[in-house]
Amino acid sequence: MSESGYDHFAWLYHQHWDDFTDQVWPVIQGFVLPYAPKGSHIVDLCCGTGKMARRLLDAGYLVTGIDNSKEMLQWAHQQAGDATLLCQDAREFELNQPAQVIVSLFDSLNHMMHINDLQQVFSRVFDALVPGGLFFFDMNTVQKYESRWTSQNALIYPDHVAALSAHYDLKTRIASFDAAIFLKDQKAWIRRDVHLTQKAYAVNEIQQALINAGFPEAHVLDGVKDLSISDFYGRLFFWTQKVS
């Protein structure tokens, strides 16, 4: 497997962006866990540093975490080492046993840069679920990218500095995130460069890709209107089930 764009970003992500699990956990409790009896198998697809996997383990579930970044999984091993952690591509992942629930959070699936890639993920999820199994995921909307994405800022700490830049192309609907990260190592500074891209999809495109993969049309929750979480502006949550 080729190096993930998140490998050089993993340390900084863990330091500054790892609070999403705390924000989304009540949503998981309300809309996901009722479909998963204790002891059932839940897959966290694109699990990152394993913080959600830890919450699910502590709640009494059998957990598999999947991510394509070896460095992110190193953090996951520290936080949720008793989960099954697999370094696999979301479009091609394989499980030893089917899952009752598969979640994919924090706009991870926006990293699928073509609708065919997104549909391929949905097809793998469909195949990996038991009949009646739940698929729950979130994605950033076009509106989020258009109004909240573009920015430039910096993080400055005694042991690390990062220059961050985010841009969105209205024509291509491609969002980019670039970071120049400097980590202090004794007397020297080590530079790591990060370039990540995401794609904005319309709701009807996402719904059609789900249908093409075998799912019925998903229910959609708006992060602000339905869940009343201001930090979830422009974030939609989708949930659908594999028809028995």
CATH of the domain at 134: 3.40.50.150
204 pLDDT more than 60: yes
Confidence band of 3 (pLDDT split at 50, 70, 90): low
Answer yes or no: do 67 and 100 share one domain: yes
In a domain, 2, yes or no: no
Compute the distance between CA of residue 97 and CA of residue 101 in angstroms, rounded to an integer: 12
186 pLDDT more than 90: no
The proportion of the chain whose per-residue pLDDT surpasses 70, expressed as a percent, equals 98
**Total domain count for the chain?**
2
Answer yes or no: do 99 and 129 share one domain: yes
pLDDT of residue 105: 98
Answer yes or no: do 126 and 161 share one domain: no
Range of the domain at 162: 144-199
In this predicted model, what pLDDT tens digit does every residue of 60-107 receive, in sequence order?
A: 999 999 999 999 999 999 999 999 999 999 999 999 999 999 999 999
In a domain, 4, yes or no: no
CATH of the domain at 154: 2.20.25.110
Answer yes or no: do 81 and 37 share one domain: yes
Answer yes or no: do 159 and 66 share one domain: no
Answer yes or no: do 220 and 177 share one domain: no
Confidence band of 6 (pLDDT split at 50, 70, 90): very high
In a domain, 39, yes or no: yes
Mean local confidence (pLDDT), 194-206? 97
Answer yes or no: do 113 and 133 share one domain: yes
Mean local confidence (pLDDT), 162-178? 98
Answer yes or no: do 192 and 209 share one domain: no
Answer yes or no: do 74 and 88 share one domain: yes
Least confident piece of the model among 14-18, 47-51, 63-67, 119-123: 14-18
Radius of gyration of the chain (CA): 18
| This prediction's pTM | 0.96
The contacts of residue 110 (CB under 8 Å, 6+ apart) are 139, 140, 175, 198, 199, 200, 201
Compute the distance between CA of residue 238 and CA of residue 134 in angstroms, rounded to an integer: 10
